[in-house]
Amino acid sequence: MANTYKPFAPLVERIKKDGVCLDGGILKVDSFVNHQIDPTLLQSMSIEFVRRFANKEINKILTIEASGIAPAIMVGFLLNVPVVFAKKKKPSTMGDMLVTEVFSFTKNKSYSVCCSKDFLHQGDKVLFIDDFLANGNAAKGIIDLVKQAGAELAGMGFIIEKSFQHGGDFLRNSGFQVESLAIIDSLDNCQIKFKGE
């Protein structure tokens, strides 16, 4: 499904003001998303996600710890549905669970991601929310977990998508509704180039 991209202006402005470009195509947004969190911006972004997925039936929000948890909670709060975060380490207390492998772009290694079968079931209509979409590896892991559970992925929402890493192409070409609030086409020469500007 092809979506038309609509930048969420308050986020784009904030990235211009406070985003820091690092070598290797990484954008640091530690002052408002990944370390310190701006709750007012988070609330407005979550309202925007709810608006963009208003066409979908959703009974659960799914994310991966840790950075996706804050936006996922806010969206879950607005939709009044539970929020589940897939865990990067198997807790000793977790019984029957679904497991998948995810390659981390920022850490350059693979890790297991797991989710208890108690919290992801057949028939669930899941919205995946995360901070960044880069190569799409975390998203592919989520697709696998949802498939293993026999649940349905209603859509995927990302705060920031880096289009030059092409995860978004893969997900959209696979037929998912993908909504990114800001899309960055290039971080070459440490210049942040936004899609559509």
CB of 140 to ligand 5GP, least distance (A): 8
* CB nearer to ligand 5GP: pick between 149 and 159: 159
Does 27 bind ligand 5GP (CB under 6 A)? Our answer is yes
Does 26 bind ligand 5GP (CB under 6 A)? Our answer is yes
CB 154 within 8 A of CB 125: yes
- Quick one: which of 71, 136, 155, 157 contacts ligand 5GP (CB under 6 A)? 136
CB of 53 to ligand 5GP, least distance (A): 19
C-alpha to C-alpha distance for 137 and 165, rounded to whole angstroms? 11
Residues 6+ apart with CB under 8 A from 131: 29, 33, 34, 67, 68, 71, 158, 159, 160
- Quick one: which of 167, 171, 177, 180 contacts ligand 5GP (CB under 6 A)? 167
C-alpha to C-alpha distance for 29 and 35, rounded to whole angstroms? 8
* 106-135 footprint of ligand 5GP as x/- string (CB under 6 A): x-----------------------xxxxxx
Q: What's the sign of the alpha-carbon dihedral 26, 32, 37, 38?
A: negative
- Quick one: which of 3, 31, 34, 59 contacts ligand 5GP (CB under 6 A)? 34
Residue 16, φ and ψ in degrees, nearest 5: -60, -40
Does 67 bind ligand 5GP (CB under 6 A)? Our answer is yes
Return the ∠ at Cα 123 (arms to 122 and 126), rounded to 5°. 100
Does 19 bind ligand 5GP (CB under 6 A)? Our answer is no
Does 179 bind ligand 5GP (CB under 6 A)? Our answer is no
Of the candidates 178, 179, 62, which has an alpha carbon nearest to the alpha carbon of residue 113?
62
